[in-house]
């Protein structure tokens, strides 16, 4: 039996073209395994090599609900379940994942370098919090200029309110969002509209409630710890079955859901000292899938190690990941804009580090990190701009604040415009966080809906302890409260109002500008200069492509600052000015200017000049 197929899912309950159910379970330490379908006789599974159990039968149909019976005693849901309509503790539901009527045969994934990403949380993006209602907002995102949505994790979690990082069924799509069919429908509609879909997945831990993997076998190892408990077993005894489980999961999203890219959560917390790292093996198998299907898929990682080995190509003995989130750009930008230097922000000095982020991607690439008390990072000299994803906010940077304040509540309107510009003129892939484009004032808070009272209390206590030093700001909102969840939803009625509408049009114009001008669109890190002034908090970013040069002038101070244009070229034409009256700014600068001349930059503003 081939457990490592590229062409179809093998684990769990699947259906053959002949109408048979193929049941495959990995449980190497069991003496006996069976499947119990509701209303039918229990069916025994036959033991195979490498810890697998198997059954081929006509007695299971799509729609049947079932559990596995382990050693003739306890019943548990299927670890590779595709649907959990009764929640994480209930029966699994058999379904044929391959019979969806796709209409996207003409779709080609957008080149990664052209992505304009928009991160969203399905439950709080719309009032209904479903894939279907999300699909109704795609025209709005297209109008904004977004061409790729990044959906926070959708693997089945307890209850209906969760960020998604407490998922416990990696193959089952959250039932309250619309399940597997709802996600397939959403992806199909996105492709019809020219929008790529990135799905956030978690391969470094599983959530605490409904996590039954340990009952089936050594999915976890106590060799290592993660911030969330025991690590997944990628290199200890019996790890082959665990590795295959997650590789199959990657392939399923690409092959059976037509997802364009995966964002792998916190891969620095994946512990693996195998000769072939699990990320490298995933990349090899994805390459095989792409060769078979002709479709292109990307692997994006969240990485807190500043180690280019993760994003270097396979042929250079790297892990082959296509891109990574670059939190250091965010941190440097945030410190420059706000002066906040608590916690991990203490490592960042402000505008000098922002300049380094523009130039080198990693701020720390070998020097001493005071926050970590050690030297940190390696240089990423040969990695193109499209391998780095930058942002001025995301779910973590907003939601991990005690009160979940978005940037719109922390800085002025002018600074919000400058932050957007700083991201969108970078030589990297830009990402927006849902609602930032119109200055959503609602917070994005941490929320859960666990059913175990002890776990709920532990989460509350943990959250309070985390923010003990901030007691002057009040109590941390209760993560279990339904109100905490509802307070985190977007307010769609604001978009047509006053400054909200102005900011939306501002984002729209900046995104359009980035797409139109090769010097901004081409993510060439080599064709870039950056000059900054610590005293005036001004930064000049010069980018070029062929004969087009672009100057991006930024003033992060709250007063007028003089800046002298460099002598790269004789005459400069203004492309964009955040201080222009149309963006409710104080006053615009001249439309054309000559080199060597000083101009006054408005407080908290961005100007873009072009020379051809």
Residue 27 belongs to domain with CATH number: 2.60.40.10
pLDDT confidence of residue 206: 94
Backbone angles phi, psi at 363, to 5 degrees: -75, -45
Tell me how far apart the alpha carbons of residues 488 and 151 are, in angstroms, rounded to a whole number. Answer: 16
pLDDT confidence of residue 303: 96
* Residues with catalytic roles: 265, 302
Residues 252 and 160 in one domain: yes
Q: Does any domain span residue 352?
A: no
550 is in an annotated binding site: no
Q: Does any domain span residue 371?
A: no
Residue whose token pair is 């092959």: 255
329 is in an annotated binding site: yes
CA torsion angle 265 267 268 271 (round to 10): 130
Looking at residue 387, the DSSP 8-state letter turns out to be G
Tell me how far apart the alpha carbons of residues 83 and 567 are, in angstroms, rounded to a whole number. Answer: 62
pLDDT confidence of residue 466: 75
Looking at residue 369, the DSSP 8-state letter turns out to be E
pLDDT, mean of residues 377-393: 97
Closest CA to 121 of 172, 86, 75, 161: 161
Per residue in 154-209, pLDDT (tens digit) is 999 999 999 999 999 999 999 999 999 999 999 999 999 999 999 999 999 999 99
Residues 278 and 224 in one domain: yes
Residues 187 and 305 in one domain: yes
251 is in an annotated binding site: no
Q: Does any domain span residue 98?
A: no
Query: Where in the sequence is the domain holding 463, given as residue range(s)?
Result: 114-326+384-392+402-419+430-508
Count of structural domains within the chain:
3
Give Cα separations from 576 to 112, 498, 507, 556 (angstroms).
25, 21, 12, 17
Residues 176 and 298 in one domain: yes
Q: What is the 3-state secondary structure (H, E, C) of 392-447?
A: CCCHHHHHCCCCCCCHHHCCCHHHHHHHHHHHHCCCCEEEEECCHHHCCCCCCCCC
Residues 460 and 536 in one domain: no
378 is in an annotated binding site: no
Residues 562 and 414 in one domain: no
Residues 212 and 124 in one domain: yes
267 is in an annotated binding site: yes
| Res. 465 pLDDT band, cuts 50 70 90 | confident
Residues 124 and 242 in one domain: yes
CATH of the domain at 170: 3.20.20.80
400 is in an annotated binding site: yes
Q: Does any domain span residue 215?
A: yes
263 is in an annotated binding site: yes
What are the beta bridge partners of residue 431?
A: 117
Residues 551 and 497 in one domain: no
| Res. 95 pLDDT band, cuts 50 70 90 | very high
Closest CA to 525 of 308, 301, 280, 369: 308
Q: Say if residue 94's pLDDT is above 90.
A: yes
Q: Which of 93, 125, 140 is the last residue of a domain?
A: 93
Q: Say if residue 279's pLDDT is above 70.
A: yes
Per residue in 113-132, pLDDT (tens digit) is 999 999 999 999 999 999 99
Give Cα separations from 424 to 362, 368, 507, 509, 511 (angstroms).
18, 30, 9, 11, 7
Q: Does any domain span residue 200?
A: yes
CA dihedral for 345, 347, 352, 358, sign (positive or negative): negative
pLDDT confidence of residue 72: 96
On average, the pLDDT of the chain sits at 95
287 is in an annotated binding site: no
Q: Which of 93, 127, 161 is the last residue of a domain?
A: 93
Residues 475 and 540 in one domain: no
Per residue in 545-590, pLDDT (tens digit) is 999 999 999 999 999 999 988 877 678 899 999 999 999 999 888 8
398 is in an annotated binding site: yes
Residue whose token pair is 């620095």: 268
Tell me how far apart the alpha carbons of residues 243 and 426 are, in angstroms, rounded to a whole number. Answer: 37
Tell me how far apart the alpha carbons of residues 103 and 106 are, in angstroms, rounded to a whole number. Answer: 8
Residues 469 and 541 in one domain: no
CATH of the domain at 530: 2.60.40.1180
Tell me how far apart the alpha carbons of residues 109 and 197 are, in angstroms, rounded to a whole number. Answer: 9
Q: Does any domain span residue 48?
A: yes
331 is in an annotated binding site: yes
Residues 19 and 153 in one domain: no
pTM of the model: 0.97
Tell me how far apart the alpha carbons of residues 390 and 328 are, in angstroms, rounded to a whole number. Answer: 9
Q: Residue 369 burial by CB count (10 A; 0-12/13-18/19+): exposed, middle or buried?
A: middle
Q: Say if residue 472's pLDDT is above 60.
A: no
Q: Does any domain span residue 534?
A: yes
Tell me how far apart the alpha carbons of residues 332 and 352 are, in angstroms, rounded to a whole number. Answer: 8
pLDDT confidence of residue 1: 67
Tell me how far apart the alpha carbons of residues 352 and 363 are, in angstroms, rounded to a whole number. Answer: 10
CB-CB contact of 451 with 158 (8 Å): yes
Percent of the chain surpassing pLDDT 70: 99
542 is in an annotated binding site: no
Percent of the chain surpassing pLDDT 90: 89
Q: Does any domain span residue 246?
A: yes
188 is in an annotated binding site: no
Q: What is the 3-state secondary structure (H, E, C) of 110-144?
A: CCHHHCCEEEECHHHHCCCCCHHHHHCCHHHHHHH
CB-CB contact of 556 with 573 (8 Å): no
Per residue in 350-372, pLDDT (tens digit) is 999 999 999 999 999 999 999 99
316 is in an annotated binding site: no
Per residue in 587-601, pLDDT (tens digit) is 888 888 887 788 899
| Res. 81 pLDDT band, cuts 50 70 90 | very high
Q: Which of 40, 62, 93 is the last residue of a domain?
A: 93
Strands 323-325 and 388-390: parallel
298 is in an annotated binding site: no
């Amino acid at each position: 039996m081939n457990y490592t197929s590229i062409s179809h899912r093998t684990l769990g309950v699947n259906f053959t073209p002949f109408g048979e159910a193929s049941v495959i379970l990995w449980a190497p330490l069991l003496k006996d395994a069976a499947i119990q379908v509701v209303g039918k006789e229990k069916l025994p599974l036959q033991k195979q090599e490498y810890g697998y159990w198997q059954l081929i039968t006509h007695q299971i149909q799509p729609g049947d609900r079932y559990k596995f019976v382990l050693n003739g005693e306890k019943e548990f849901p299927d670890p590779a379940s595709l649907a959990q309509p009764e929640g994480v503790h209930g029966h699994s539901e058999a379904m044929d994942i391959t019979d969806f009527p796709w209409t996207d045969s003409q779709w080609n994934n957008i080149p990664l370098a052209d992505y304009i990403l928009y991160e969203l949380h399905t439950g709080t993006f719309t009032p209904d919090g479903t894939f279907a209602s999300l699909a109704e907002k795609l025209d709005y995102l297209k109008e904004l200029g977004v061409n790729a949505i990044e959906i926070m994790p959708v693997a089945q979690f307890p209850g209906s309110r969760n960020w998604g990082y407490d998922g416990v069924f990696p193959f089952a799509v959250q039932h309250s969002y619309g399940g597997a069919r709802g996600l397939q429908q959403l992806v199909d509609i996105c492709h019809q509209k020219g929008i790529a879909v990135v799905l956030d997945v978690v391969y470094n831990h599983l959530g605490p409630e409904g996590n039954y993997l340990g009952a089936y076998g050594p999915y976890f190892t106590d060799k290592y710890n993660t911030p969330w408990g025991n690590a997944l077993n990628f290199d200890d005894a019996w790890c082959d079955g665990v590795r295959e489980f997650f590789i199959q999961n990657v392939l399923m999203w690409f092959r059976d859901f037509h997802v364009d890219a995966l964002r792998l959560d916190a891969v620095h917390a994946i512990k693996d000292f195998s000769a072939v790292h699990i990320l490298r093996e995933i990349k090899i198998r994805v390459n095989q899938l792409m060769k078979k299907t002709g479709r292109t898929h990307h692997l994006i990682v969240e990485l807190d190690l500043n180690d280019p080995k993760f994003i270097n190509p396979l042929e250079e003995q790297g892990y082959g990941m296509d891109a990574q989130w670059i939190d250091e750009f965010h941190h440097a930008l945030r410190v420059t804009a706000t002066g906040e230097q608590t916690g991990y922000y203490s490592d960042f000095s402000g505008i000098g580090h922002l300049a380094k982020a523009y130039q080198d991607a990693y701020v720390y690439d070998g020097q001493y990190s005071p926050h970590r008390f050690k030297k940190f990072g390696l240089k990423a000299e040969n990695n193109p701009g499209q391998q780095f994803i930058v942002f001025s906010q995301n779910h973590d940077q907003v939601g991990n604040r005690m009160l979940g304040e978005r940037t719109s509540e922390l800085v002025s309107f002018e600074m919000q415009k400058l932050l957007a510009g700083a991201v969108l003129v970078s030589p990297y892939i830009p990402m927006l966080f849902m609602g930032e484009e119109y200055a959503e004032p609602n917070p994005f808070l941490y929320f859960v809906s666990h059913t175990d009272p002890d776990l709920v209390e532990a989460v509350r206590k943990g959250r309070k302890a985390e923010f003990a030093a901030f007691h002057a700001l009040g109590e941390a909102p209760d993560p279990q409260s339904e109100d905490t969840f509802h307070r985190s939803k977007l307010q769609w009625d604001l978009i047509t109002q006053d400054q909200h509408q102005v900011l939306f049009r501002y984002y729209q114009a900046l995104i359009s500008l980035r797409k139109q001008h090769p010097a901004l669109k081409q993510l060439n890190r080599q064709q870039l200069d950056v000059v900054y002034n610590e005293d005036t908090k001004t930064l000049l970013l010069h980018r070029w492509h062929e004969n087009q040069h672009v100057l991006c002038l930024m003033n992060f101070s709250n007063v007028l600052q003089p800046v002298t244009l460099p002598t790269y070229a004789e005459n400069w034409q203004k492309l964009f000015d955040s201080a222009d009256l149309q963006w409710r700014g104080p006053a615009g600068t001249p439309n054309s200017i000559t080199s060597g001349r000083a101009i006054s930059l408005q407080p908290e503003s961005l100007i873009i000049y072009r020379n051809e």
